[in-house]
Chains A and B, each alone.
Chain A
Amino acid sequence: MTFQEIVAALKRFWADQGCLILEPYDVEKGAGTMNPATFLRVLGPEPWRAAYVEPSRRPVDGRYGENPNRLYQHQQFQVVLKPSPDDIQEIYLDSLAALGFDRKVHDIRFVEDNWEAPTLGAWGVGWEVWLDNMEVTQFTYFQQAGGLDCKPVTVEITYGLERIASYIQNVESVYDIEWAHGITYGELFHQNEVEQSKYAFDFSSVQLLFSLFDAYESEAQVALKEGIVLPAYDYVLKASHTFNLLDARGAISVGERAAFIARVRNLARLCARAFLEQRKAAGFPLLGEVKS
């Protein structure tokens, strides 16, 4: 299976489970969770099922393209289902079967791993899934997002596509993964890894980033004041990514860290609250619409 066949198989599988198949969100982010299709849609009573690929940027994990498994940017396949179905673990195991992993001849385990995103005021409880001792998926029952209790609870399933692909294709380096037709992951992304790492660790302008952070923060506040939530949330994402860049540059001391995180979290909370209010004012249009 090529990388793109894996993605296609997962999309087909989850579409059959009633998920909307969405596209990545076009603002830099650290995880698929930050896509509004997860972070905002997990709020409130409306049912929701969606799946999408999300390229996720984690500047501190950049390794100049020299490490076979660590990446500045990796691809997540993200699935969210609200409310969490009773047989979700079985469904998930079936999704692995769709990728060719028959549970009878592999060891698949759900090992405690709780999740917390301090910048989003979000946390959940769940596992990392081990496939023959490799972590291939993060499996989380959302308990809070933006500081608000999630009810009903959304289950979030995040597949690490590079891990799964390198296992299926039996390659040791992510760069050797075949994306399609003899085109490798390395061909597509290696240069990006090298250059983004250089930028994040060596060349980014700390002063500019600090001032961008402040600017994004105030722009988000302006938008929130006007009651326009989605542009505000875009700036929260930008502020969060800017914080990550500063962090990778070692520009934020331990003492300052908590304060920066709190600033992003504060905005994320306000966006969550405002979004929920909007949905409420609209009468929660999806209630009774989407059947599971």
Chain B
Amino acid sequence: MRMPFVFELGCEEMPASLLPTIVQDARTKFESILAEARLPYSDLRVYATPRRLVVWVGEIDAVQEDRLITARGPSRAAAFDENGKPTRAAEGFARSWGVTVSELEIKDTPSGEYVYAVKTERGEPALRVLERVLPSFVRSLEFPRAMRWGDLDFSFVRPIRWVLCLLGADIISFELAGVKSSRTSRGHRLHCEAPVLVDHASRYFEAMRSAHVMIDQNERREEIIRRARGLSEELGGEAVLPDELLEEVVYLCEWPGVFRGTIDSEFLSLPREVIATTMQHHLRFFPVQKEGELLPYFIAVRNGEGPGLENVVAGCERVITARLKDARFFYNEDTSRRLEERVPELARIVFQEKLGTLLNKVMRVQALVQDFGHLLSKEERQRALRAAYLCKADVVTHLVYEFPELEGYVGRELALHDGEHPVVATAILEHHLPRRSGGAVPATPEGALISVCDKLDTLAGYFLIGKEPTGSQDPLGLRRAGFGVISVLWKSGLRLDLREAVEKAVANYTGFDEHQRRAVADLQSFLVQRAKVLFTDEGVRPDIVDAVLYHGIDFVERSWRKIQALREFLTHERIEDLLLAYKRVMNLARNSKEGEVREHLLVEQPEISLYRALRAAETELSTLYEREEFRSYLEKVAKLRGPVDEFLDRTLVMVEDDDIRLNRLALLKRTGEVLGKVAELGELR
């Protein structure tokens, strides 16, 4: 027989930011608990609201599956005497497993023959099994920060206040954190006073619905989206519903009451990001826009839909008005001075104790931008230098002090206000990109160059003082900076030589002479690691990435092209030719020293043929390589297999004559270099 099951853990308000992870964690752990408990089931669902974590199973077997137990006893020799009669040892063993001696089985094992007791253990009722495993399920849930409460020795994400647990109509009874499970739940905190009795697991959802709780987070989400869209359409605009904010709002209510409020349109003269940040980050409101411009409204979600909406709207409007007034005050203060006047003030902001002030940093970044200015046109170069000079100046504004997440946006707005070139303003904002992994990268070459230089400067500094990230910790965001460098170079097409840039970024710091060499090497391999992660995240086989990045990275985009080419070529009919030729050549060439091939020492026909084939191919190959047509390069170079095979099959390389031998090895070495120029093919599986 199969029955529905519901488990509701009632808590004080759990953090909205954690609930998505808690839901996932609970699902995985509950699945494994049911599997371990040998309880077949179907239709497992996990839900959460601020006040409850719910596991609901549509059908669960009322009885655990039977289990076959096989226990090894004494050896055959010890269990039966010479007449085949069971010994006391056999009788004792049988008794302890609840079987008769005649039921004992003899099995042949690698260590000899042994007596076994085999029996079927009957499954227990699911009710009993669940009573035992549910408390450990709750204890197994993990949180970044758990807490204790009252006088209990129990920790959880927030205090547990009630537990409802039913299998069909029966209570699964156990105790958790001083709370006894029951069939009683609680409804909406504000709109349902009476306890909620649930008579059968199958009626859980309707019982909660009538207590003003919408259990299913997806339903709450759909409801918010639907109604927010409806409200914004009435206003002739569209609601801005970023996923992250939506997710948070979904977990901040048990029943979404969606409504709109108004702001004074005079605030619309503030930069869009200032208004949007105030709404989204500080108040969890959704802005409304029309053709990209904000409208003087917001859409908000309250918990529940009882009376008193006018109080809630008035409260929301009060708060946002106060916040926007503050923001306007700061904006007016900040625009009363030019951004460039603030740059010298960066001298009082410490970037890092050993690495100087933010002003020092700006100067270093500007120097790097100058070093790589040749990658840009003359106009671009001038704008990039200007933007680099201004890029940190907004740190000392009131707005950024109040809204740290607006760093960059404020710089852009103030630059525009000052009449700086629009691209300079954009580059100031863009140098912070990407803000998160997979986020947008700068669209202007100026922004891309400053972004890379700024991040490399940060990385170089921290590597010099031995603060490179270790383990899974990355408190300084250095891995993120590393990913940023690679992504920007990869996506923007900025042709910056990464090796050279790392060397220059490190050399820009003075007073760390003895650490320079190590920092350069460590930072280069750190960046290669970041590139490996990003490339494999694109679904590329790790061995392909390893092969291409084996000798490091000079141009990120070029490495990516090589990876693409190699990836395609692996399905090509000539791939075997290439790999075999490379393998055969490298077997001998790997250990050979550098040396020129001397033509007059080539005496046998196969080595002459190989040399000629190589010479004939080299010019075209190097053109293909320069043009980054790596796929054609691989196809072309694979054709060397014929001459390679013929040479290795018919010519003895390791001859007595030193000159001849070394010359043949040099020929192999040169062949190997040509074959392995795109990637270290030996890394491929």
A207 at the B interface (CB under 8 A): no
Cβ contact within 8 Å between B319 and A134: yes
Q: Which residues of A contact B308 (CB under 8 A)?
A: 102, 104-107
**A125-B147, A127-B13 as given contacts; A172 in contact with B350, CB under 8 Å:** no
A285 at the B interface (CB under 8 A): no
A-B residue pairs in contact (CB < 8 Å), sample of 29 = A67-B329, A68-B322, A69-B326, A84-B149, A93-B189, A104-B306, A105-B308, A106-B315, A107-B303, A107-B304, A108-B189, A108-B190, A108-B303, A109-B50, A112-B16, A125-B158, A132-B312, A132-B314, A132-B315, A133-B316, A133-B319, A134-B318, A134-B319, A153-B149, A172-B318, A250-B348, A254-B350, A254-B353, A255-B350
B475 at the A interface (CB under 8 A): no
Q: Which of B18, B151, B303, B325 contacts A83 (CB 8 A)?
A: B151
Q: Which chain A residue shows the least CB distance to B51?
A: A110
Cβ contact within 8 Å between A134 and B315: yes
State in angstroms the CA–CA spacing of A85 and B178 once bound together. 13
Nearest CB in chain B: distance from A149 CB, A: 8
B134-167 at interface with A (beta carbon < 8 Å): 145, 147-151, 158-159, 161
Cβ contact within 8 Å between A107 and B17: no
Residue interface mask B1-38, A partner, CB < 8 A = 1: 00000000000110111100000000000000000000
Q: Which chain A residue shows the least CB distance to B15?
A: A112
B335-374 at interface with A (beta carbon < 8 Å): 348-350, 353
B511 at the A interface (CB under 8 A): no
A-B CB contacts (within 8 Å), total count:
113
A233 at the B interface (CB under 8 A): no
Q: Which chain B residue shows the least CB distance to A254?
A: B350
Cβ contact within 8 Å between B190 and A112: no
What range describes how many residues of A lie at the interface? 35 or more
Q: Which chain B residue shows the least CB distance to A69?
A: B322
Cβ contact within 8 Å between B350 and A253: yes
Nearest CB in chain A: distance from B327 CB, A: 12
State in angstroms the CA–CA spacing of A112 and B145 once bound together. 12
State in angstroms the CA–CA spacing of A226 and B442 once bound together. 63
Chain B interfacial positions (CB closer than 8 Å to A): 12-13, 15-18, 50, 145, 147-151, 158-159, 161, 189-191, 252-253, 257, 283, 300, 302-304, 306-308, 311-312, 314-316, 318-319, 321-322, 325-326, 329, 348-350, 353
**A105-B307, A112-B16 as given contacts; A143 in contact with B348, CB under 8 Å:** no
State in angstroms the CA–CA spacing of A172 and B321 once bound together. 9
Cβ contact within 8 Å between A143 and B148: yes
Cβ contact within 8 Å between A107 and B350: no
Q: Which of A86, A131, A143 contacts B161 (CB 8 A)?
A: A86
Residue interface mask A64-94, B partner, CB < 8 A = 1: 0001110000000000000111100100010
A21 at the B interface (CB under 8 A): no
**A109-B303, A132-B316 as given contacts; A84 in contact with B190, CB under 8 Å:** no
State in angstroms the CA–CA spacing of A23 and B13 once bound together. 32
Cβ contact within 8 Å between A153 and B148: yes
Cβ contact within 8 Å between A141 and B147: yes
Q: Which residues of B contact A152 (CB under 8 A)?
A: 150-151
A12 at the B interface (CB under 8 A): no
Q: Which residues of B contact A108 (CB under 8 A)?
A: 189-190, 303
User: Quick one: which of A84, A107, A255 has the most chain B CB within 10 A?
Assistant: A107
Q: Kindly list 15 other residue pairs between chains A and B, CB separation below 8 angstroms, not including A112-B13, A167-B318.
A: A85-B150, A104-B191, A106-B190, A107-B302, A112-B16, A125-B145, A125-B147, A132-B315, A133-B300, A134-B318, A152-B151, A155-B149, A254-B349, A254-B350, A255-B353
Q: Which residues of A contact B17 (CB under 8 A)?
A: 112
A151 at the B interface (CB under 8 A): yes
Q: Which chain A residue shows the least CB distance to B179?
A: A86
State in angstroms the CA–CA spacing of A68 and B318 once bound together. 12
State in angstroms the CA–CA spacing of A93 and B257 once bound together. 20
A114 at the B interface (CB under 8 A): yes
State in angstroms the CA–CA spacing of A122 and B248 once bound together. 28
A103 at the B interface (CB under 8 A): yes
Residue interface mask A125-161, B partner, CB < 8 A = 1: 1010001111000000101000000011101000000
Q: Which chain A residue shows the least CB distance to B323?
A: A69
Cβ contact within 8 Å between B312 and A133: yes
Residue interface mask A145-183, B partner, CB < 8 A = 1: 000000111010000000000010000100000000000
